[in-house]
Amino acid sequence: MASTPEGTPFAIPAELLVELGRYAGLELSADYAARVAPLLAGPLGFARALHPADYDDLVPATVYRVPEA
């Protein structure tokens, strides 16, 4: 099981991954989903627990830029 920066456990159930895969048009077996879920849970748990003070002001690093004429 992965954990957040504060050490809180964070997991993604394999069944949820199977459902998300189906929603994306991807057939994932339950066994396979169970094996790969931790690969996603680690980064996701970490990132969701980050709350820098200025988070509300942060703009995504990818923004559309109109090309110069």
Partner 1 sequence: MRDGELVYLSLREAAERLRQRAVSPVELLDAALARTAAVEPRLRAYVTPMFDQARADARQAEQEIADGRYRGPLHGIPVALKDNYWTRGVVTAAGSKLFADFLPPEDGAVVARLRAAGAIVTGKTNMHELAIGGSTTNPHYGPTHNPWQPERIPGGSSGGSAAAVAAGLCYAATGTDTAGSIREPAAYCGLVGLKPTYGRVSIRGIVPLSWSLDHAGPLTRTVEDAALVLNAIAGYDPQDLTSANVPVPDYTARLGDGLRGLRLGVPRPYFYDQLDPEIAAAVETALGVLRDLGASVEEVRFPSAAWALALFPLISRPEAASFQEALLHTRPADYGDVRVQVELGEVILAKDYLRAQRLRTAMRQELEGLLAGVDALVTPATRTVAHPIGQPLTEVAGQPVTPSQLWVGLTMPFDLTGTPAISVPCRFAADGLPIGLQIAGRAWDESTVLRIAAAYERATPWHQQHPPL
17 lies in the site for partner 1, by CB under 8 A = yes
DSSP H or E segment with residue 47: helix 30-48
- Lookup: tokens for 57: 């002001």
36 lies in the site for partner 1, by CB under 8 A = yes
Contact assessment for residue 1 and residue 40, using Cβ atoms and an 8 Å cutoff: no
Q: Closer CB to partner 1, residue 11 or residue 44?
A: 44
Contact assessment for residue 48 and residue 40, using Cβ atoms and an 8 Å cutoff: no
Q: Which residues bind partner 1 (CB under 8 A)?
A: 17, 20-21, 24-26, 28, 36, 39-40, 42-44, 46-48, 50, 52, 54-55, 58-62, 65, 67-68
